[in-house]
Amino acid sequence: MKRLLDRIPLGLLTLLALWMAVAPIAPQPHLWEKLQMLAAGSLTRPLDIFDLILHATPLTLLLAKLYFRIVQRPPPG
């Protein structure tokens, strides 16, 4: 998994994660809408589940990439 993340440029992944997190902007981002549905227990339709996965995947990959960068940073000194 880490080798795959290393092959994705950080800038591209950041732009993709931000874009998918806020798309579409109006009336509200899909990611936020689906997370609210998940919290309310109304995320039951397969299309809604797919939409949550689609919009959350780039953000999840970005967080994983940043985690591996921080954890494997060489110690100072």
pLDDT tens by residue, 23-56: 888 788 888 888 999 999 999 999 989 989 999 9
pTM: 0.80
Give the CA distances from residue 75 to residues 51, 66, 67, 70, in Å, rounded to whole numbers and listed in that order: 40, 16, 15, 10
| Full residue range of the structural domain in which residue 28 is found | 2-71
Q: For residue 62, which phi and psi values (nearest 5 degrees)?
A: -65, -45
pLDDT at 77: 62
- Residue at 77 is within a domain: no
Measured distance CA(3)–CA(8) in Å, rounded: 9
pLDDT at 39: 94
- Residue at 6 is within a domain: yes
- Quote the number of domains for the chain: 1
Residue type, 65: K
- Residue at 76 is within a domain: no
Return the SS3 of 73. Answer: coil
- Residue at 11 is within a domain: yes
